[in-house]
Amino acid sequence: MPDQHVPAYRAPATVFADRHIGPDEVERAVMLEAVGYGSTAELMAAAVPSSILSAPGAPAALGLPEPASETEALAELRALADTNQVLVSMIGQGYYDTVVPPVILRNIMENPAWYTAYTPYQPEISQGRLEALLNFQTMVADLTGLPVSGASLLDEATAAAEAMTLARRATKSKSASFVVDSNVFGQTLAVLRTRAEPLGIDVVVADLSDGLPEGDIFGVLVQYPAASGEVRDPRPLIEAAHERGALAVVAADILALTVLTSPGGLGADIAVGSTQRFGVPMGFGGPHAGYMSVREGLQRQLPGRLVGVSVDAAGNPAYRLALQTREQHIRREKATSNICTAQVLLANMAGMYAVYHGPRGLRAIAERVHSRAVLLAAGLRSAGVEVLTDAFFDTLRVRVPGWADAVVEAAREAGVNLFRVDADTVGISCDETTTSGHVALVLNAFGARVPNDAAPAAPVLPAALAREVDYLAHPVFNTHRSETSLLRYMRRLADKDLALDRTMIPLGSCTMKLNATAEMEAVTWPEFAGLHPFAPLEQAAGLVRVVRDLETWLAEVTGYDAVSLQPNAGSQGELAGLLAIREYHRSRGDAAREVCLIPSSAHGTNAASAIMAGMRVTVVACDEGGNIDLDDLRAKIAKTGDALAAIMVTYPSTHGVYEDTITEVCRLVHEGGGQVYVDGANLNALVGWAKPGEFGADVSHLNLHKTFCIPHGGGGPGVGPVAVRAHLADFLPNHPAQSEAGPYTGVGPVSAAPFGSAGILPISWAYIRMMGEEGLRAATETAVLAANYVAKRLAPHYPVLYAGTDGLVAHECIIDIRGLQKATGISNDDLTKRLIDYGFHAPTMSFPVAGTLMIEPTESEDLAELDRFVDAMVAIRAEIDRVADGSYEREDNPLKNAPHTAEALTADDWKHAYSRSEAAYPVPSLRRSKYWVPVARIDQAFGDRNLVCSCPPPEAFEE
Ligand SMILES: *Cc1c(COP(=O)(O)O)cnc(C)c1O
């Protein structure tokens, strides 16, 4: 037979931007027609003030590589992954290898039903992830022996810093001294120092083996087990701290707590730590869920989000976020913390790991880890090597005078990373993945061998600290032993929630755009996920390349000169940026510049971050148009005088408008000697058109979990890079364990890991790589077009607040419900709950203006979905009109009673003045596809009055 010519298979040429951007050319034409412009370029030219453009009338040029297809980008990432070397990690220091149960990896970490959800502010459509978070809280509370646990913090080091400020608030002590055990993880101490300095807190580092140092203190922090691995009894220290009126913080290893007496049992007030080793990959530093739990009486001081139990309108138990009045979006500069985005997805993974293993499984893992460490110590000792750690859980310190480097190198050649403590000392940590083979390799590196009497060595944990109190007794941790059962449990939870895999989520200021699968894929590749953050940099060459590319590309997109990817949320980027400003002033002898001007419309994190950076906040008024009041700004600058440090403005404004006065604002503040911080969370309205670093700002943070496609995970993870102009570059974050992580002149670390949540950077890398300059610009233009299209279509039905020149909004629009409420008694709460019956997630409520809804459609929603949303809003408006004209009763109507559960709709007695089908199927398409809400409207106040923050007993759900 003659040779047949078989052409090589080639994927059809697809332009990724066409997949990312929802409306196609035809749909865009329809939308442009409605908005009244001939092209998106024309629309942008009209909407964006010319003063912020890089060149007259033209969009900004971006020096980015030509876009890659999905296949090409994944091939490039694969090539980068292949340059990483994943060794067996026995470095420890807060990061341990772990087996992610495959059922959790695939069905939570890689499942858009979990990773594309938003923070559960709308509790009725978030019952699944709220239950999962309640499991997490119960797990942490049980293991730490402290009754109230939050729903995750950003990492262990920042959790320790939050505990420090909590202790200061709660004790109201006159002392500014916080004592930290010298035997604490290096990154924890470094972050404590970064955070303490601007607040005037004195971090006193001391060897606490001989008790507390003299003097007044407001708190003490000990690591348990210590960084060296030693397990010491912290009780004498805790008692001594209490005698001095100070609070005791214990940074505890969550796995060790399955076999050791809990911090609460030891008398501690606060426990902090990481839940990484509960089935969350190391990811070169993150993301993982930090935890904090507190004793009774401190719960109102807790930073971050807290899930609580309440009841719904039918009296059934239901979950929602508790004590929200602590949070920065309400308390602003008086908030307990600036934390907004936390680590929900990772907390849910850790909680599910506990559900999967149950108390006995966890204990078995801990005992096995311990037995490996015992074997290691026995082998070393029998070879005459000096083991410094007597009582330990999983970590040893070994003394090898003068040859630590040689041992570490020998181990590395055998494929194992150890921890070089100093020239004479090596640290070794065992974990869930450590095998006896690994132990043999390590012993070999010390010239030792596995002891001949292979009898299992006896545990060496101190008897006085043996855990006696049970944990995880709740049925949820004792039921789902089979994979079938766990799979269905996770599915049942996911089915209760609305995430991006079911509907658009039009949350203003949150940018709920597509998280493309091709962007997500590389995150769980072992070559990225398996790296320890303190592994030698050359083993992480591929991921470091991702970091460097992103830094370059983000500098290009923003017009700044230097970028740090270390901050692991927007709030942390804000803090880093403000600290850079503070250091800059101090470097010039301008230490008195400590006032931060913040417009009244700002995001709550801004004011909270300014306080954390040691600044005082002065509020600048906004005019009726939502713009910064320039007269008030001038007056405040004059009044502040030489104390002016900075202004923090959001651009486009939180009102969703391109203020054309922004360049004037920058000029005035610079004239007054201040620096300009532009909150770049809304960069989705600027990318490819204007660059903050060019139009007058000195520093911005960006939210990669908004504009650059990292999914929200139900409330985290996030990445909040900080970008600065050259004069601030020396003051970016750095890290004690990694000199390449930032300038040596930097302000210290703001996160535990050198490159923050490096494990998820491939997402944003892939997005930029596949979009290229044209694609990114088209995304911005389409986002602005979609917002204006929605505004235009809604305008006849709801007043649209605020517009810029030519009556255009930027990437989001605010509609005003106050007039309707006054006339009909229907509130924006009623309206958003009714949207649930239509199958939608609510827009952002009452931010930045009470009684309004802020809608951000993003570029990823196609015209059909935009229309489905607008049609729902228009139909709801018609329902409100029926309340107004009396055809619906004022108190008994589909809005007041929304959302309607299947149970309520199918109940034998239906007592309402409207029909069941009006309630369930207000638009015909719902008959074909309908989201059934699992609970009725939730009573927020009840839950705060009767605070329950762990899993309720099953009887609570019985009739
Ligand atoms: C989302 C947002 C923030 C906070 O970011 P987090 O990652 O949640 O900390 C700050 N400012 C603005 C304007 C935002 O929209």
The alpha carbon of 107 is separated from its chain's Cα centroid by a whole number of angstroms, namely 20
Task: Give residue 603 CA to ligand 1 midpoint distance, Å.
Answer: 7
pLDDT of the residue at 1 = 46
The percent of residues above 90 in pLDDT, for the chain, comes to: 90
State in Å: Cα 710 to ligand 1 middle: 14
Q: Scan for tokens 């100070």, then name that residue.
A: 246
The reported pLDDT for the residue numbered 294 is: 98
Over the stretch 424-450, which tens digit does the pLDDT of each residue have?
A: 999 999 999 999 999 999 999 999 888
503 lines ligand 1 (CB under 6 A): no
Q: What's the gap between Cα 214 and its chain centre? A: 39
The pLDDT score that the predictor gives to residue 2 is 47
pLDDT, one tens digit per residue, over 263-291 is 999 999 999 999 999 999 999 999 999 99
870: tokens are 């607008």
Distance CA 497, CA 493 (A): 7
Rounded CA separation 382/99 (Å): 31
CB 736 within 8 A of CB 693: no
Cα–Cα distance, 306 to 321 (Å, whole number): 6
- Please report, for the chain, the start and end positions of each structural domain, with discontinuous segments joined by +: 817-944
- Dihedrals φ, ψ of 247, to 5°? -95, 150
The token pair at 368 is 């096995």
What is the radius of gyration, based on Cα positions, of the chain? 28
How far apart CA 835 and CA 933 sit, in angstroms, is: 11
Q: Is 566 in the pocket of ligand 1 (CB under 6 A)?
A: no
Q: Is 307 helix (H, G, I), strand (E, B) or coil?
A: strand
Give residue-wise pLDDT tens across range 12-46: 447 999 999 999 999 999 999 999 999 999 999 99
Which pLDDT band, with edges at 50, 70 and 90, does 10 fall under?
Answer: very low
What does the pLDDT read at residue 450? 83
Q: Mean pLDDT score of the chain, rounded to an integer?
A: 95
CA distance linking residue 527 with residue 283, whole number of Å: 9
User: What pLDDT, in 10s, does the model give residues 399-425?
Assistant: 999 999 999 999 999 999 999 999 999
Indicate whether residue 865 lines ligand 1 (CB < 6 A): no
Q: Is the CB of 605 under 6 A from ligand 1?
A: yes
* Residues forming beta bridges with residue 222, ordered by sequence position: 250
The C-alpha torsion from 264 through 319 and 850 to 333, rounded to 10°, is 10
Q: 332 CA to middle of ligand 1, Å?
A: 13
pLDDT in tens, 141-171: 999 999 999 999 999 999 999 999 999 999 9
% the chain with pLDDT above 70: 98
Instruction: Say if CB 746 and CB 39 are below 8 A apart.
Output: no
| E strand map for 508-615 | 562-564, 595-599
Q: Of 598, 701, 703, which is best to mutate to test ligand 1, by the most ligand atoms within 8 angstroms of its C-beta?
A: 703
What is the pLDDT averaged over residues 480-498? 98
Q: How far is the CA of 348 from the centre of ligand 1 (A)?
A: 22
Q: Give me the residues paired with residue 701 across strands.
A: 679, 722
Taking a C-beta distance cutoff of 8 angstroms, is the pair 843, 794 a contact?
A: no
Say if ligand 1 is within 6 A of residue 340 CB: yes
Report pLDDT digits (tens) over 646-668.
999 999 988 888 998 999 999 99
Assign 929 to helix, strand or coil: coil
| Over residues 894-906, mean pLDDT | 97
Name the pairing type of β-strands 219-224 and 177-181: parallel
pLDDT (0 to 100) of residue 897? 98
pLDDT for the residue 959: 61
830 lines ligand 1 (CB under 6 A): no
What 3-state DSSP class applies to 676?
A: strand
Residue 617's DSSP bridge partners are 596
Instruction: Determine if ligand 1 sits within 6 Å of the CB of residue 249.
Output: no
* CB contact at 8 A, 857 and 866: yes
Q: Are the beta carbons of 582 and 574 closer than 8 angstroms?
A: no
Closest CA to 311 of 319, 303, 299: 319
CA distance 785 to 733: 37
Alpha helices in 401-475 (DSSP H): 404-413, 436-445
What pLDDT score does 456 carry? Answer: 60
What pLDDT is attached to residue 847?
86
CB 701 within 8 A of CB 681: yes
Q: Hey, CA dihedral for 921, 922, 926, 931, is it positive or negative? A: negative
Give, using CA atoms, the residue closest to atom 14 of ligand 1.
681
Instruction: Report residue 388: phi and psi, to 5°.
Output: -80, -25
Q: Whose C-alpha lies nearest to ligand 1, atom 2? A: 681
Can you give the pLDDT at residue 460?
A: 86
Centroid of ligand 1 to alpha carbon of 573 (angstroms) = 9
The continuous run of DSSP H or E covering 702 comes out as strand 699-702
The tokens for 495 are: 């089915």
Question: Strands, E, within 658-767: which ranges?
Answer: 675-680, 699-702, 722-724
872 CA → ligand 1 middle, Å: 28
Residue with tokens 């290229």: 772
Any bridge partners for residue 601, and if so which?
none
CA angle 774, 780, 782 (to 5 degrees): 95
Residue 112 predicted with pLDDT over 80: yes
Spatial distance between the Cα atoms of 499 and 220, rounded to a whole number of angstroms:
42
For ligand 1, atom 15, which residue shows the shortest CA distance? 509
Alpha carbon nearest to ligand 1 atom 6, residue: 570
Residues 823, 884: Cα–Cα separation, whole Å: 7
Strand-pair partners of 397: 427
Phi first, then psi: what are they for 754, rounded to 5°?
Answer: -55, -45
**Predicted confidence (pLDDT) per residue in 822-844, tens digit:** 999 999 999 999 999 999 999 99
Q: List Cβ neighbours of 892 (8 Å cut-off, separation of 6 or more).
A: 912, 913, 914
Q: Which residue has the higher pLDDT, 458 or 874?
A: 874
Helix (H) or strand (E) holding 635: helix 630-640
Residue nearest to atom 7 of ligand 1 (CA): 570
Residue 9 has pLDDT above 70, yes or no: no
Instruction: Specify the pairing of strand 247-252 against strand 219-224.
Output: parallel
User: Would you say the C-alpha torsion 248, 341, 541, 562 has a positive or negative sign?
Assistant: negative
Mean pLDDT of 234-253: 97
Q: For ligand 1, what atom is nearest to the CA of residue 339?
A: 9
User: Is residue 165 within 8 Å of residue 198, measured between CB atoms?
Assistant: no
Q: Identify the CA nearest to 373 among candidates 308, 434, 418.
A: 434
Locate the DSSP E strands across 811-944: 813-816, 844-845, 852-855
Q: Tell me if 304 CB under 6 Å of ligand 1.
A: no
Residue 623's pLDDT band (cuts 50, 70, 90): confident
| Protein residue with its CA nearest to atom 8 in ligand 1 | 341
Q: Is 286 in the pocket of ligand 1 (CB under 6 A)?
A: no
802 band by pLDDT with thresholds 50, 70 and 90? confident
Which has the closest alpha carbon to 238: 229, 228, 247? 247
- CA atoms of 796 and 456, how far apart (whole Å): 77
Query: Quick one: pLDDT at residue 956?
Result: 85
Backbone angles phi, psi at 800, to 5 degrees: -95, 120
Distance CA 915, CA 902 (A): 14
Tell the residue number behind the tokens 């605070």, with chain if given. Answer: 947
**pLDDT tens for residues 692-747?**
999 999 999 999 999 999 999 999 999 999 999 999 999 999 999 999 999 999 99
Q: What is the mean predicted confidence (pLDDT) over 207-226?
A: 96
Q: Count how many Cα atoms sit within 13 Å of the Cα of residue 404 in the half-sphere of its side chain.
A: 16
From 769, 535, 545, select the one nearest 81 (Cα to Cα).
545
Give the amino acid at 864: A
Name the CATH architecture for the domain at 817-944. Answer: Alpha-Beta Complex (3.90)
